Amino acid sequence: MDKHVVVTGGAQGIGKAICQAFLEEGDWVSPWDIDNEALLELEEEWHAWRDRILPVSCDVSSYEAVHKAKNFLTQKWSKVDVLVNNAGVFIHKPLLELTEEEWDWVLGVNLKSIFLLAQALLPLMPHGASILNIASTRALMSEANTEAYSASKGGVLALTHALAISLGPRKIRVNAISPGWIEVSSWKKKRERQEPFLRPIDHLQHPAQRVGKPEDIASLCVFLASEKAGFITGAQVVVDGGMTRKMIYAE
């Protein structure tokens, strides 16, 4: 309660669910997002929490934009207790068609941003603070034509344990969460929002017997940022309904 929480990519999808979970805990939340339309909708939708949210428009892959956002944040807040690096983009494209610009974009948003945010906000983070990085099970397994995304998420895991070691003396814990299939259709901005369309087989291929929800990730973020998780750092927690543990044979 009363933590100050920054969530990148916080206006839609998993990031929005994470913001809501911390707000429900009584915390102060600053969603950072490049989508201004989604940020405005967030303010309207969360009118009851208007005094506890601080929306920030920011391209988290840009050093200049991150430091401009930080300067804005420090006009309102004196500290950041929790940083959730959730912003992410995905390209599904054959290797021979993937451009250097697309590769740099994915690595910039998904991986470089974590370095930029951690470096920029570290002076505001007190002892006992926490950094949570949203990785992916695609850091552990792949399907074809996902080179940029898979590489970026593999980098997130490595950066997580590197930061955990470097920031340990400051008593700042750093952990990663690797979601599997999380259905976010109902957590998008209004003009893209829709009811999820899921087949029975989509659920049944998970040992947990269902597809994941953004709330599954959000509740884990709240726990990992709490004192109850005080002995957990440098860890990766896979939240995928058991899919990466399931052996698959052709029938």
Which residues are the active-site residues? 149
HSE-up (13 A, CA, CB side) for residue 246? 14
81 and 22 in contact (C-beta within 8 Å)?
A: no
Going by C-beta distance under 8 Å and a sequence separation of 6 or more, which residues neighbour residue 8? 15, 32, 33, 58, 60, 84, 85, 86, 87, 113, 117
Q: Whole-angstrom distance between the N-terminal and C-terminal Cα of the chain?
A: 51
Give the whole-angstrom CA distance, residue 214 versus residue 34: 20
Give the H or E element holding residue 250. Answer: none
239 and 224 in contact (C-beta within 8 Å)?
A: no
Residue carrying the six token digits 């840009």: 62
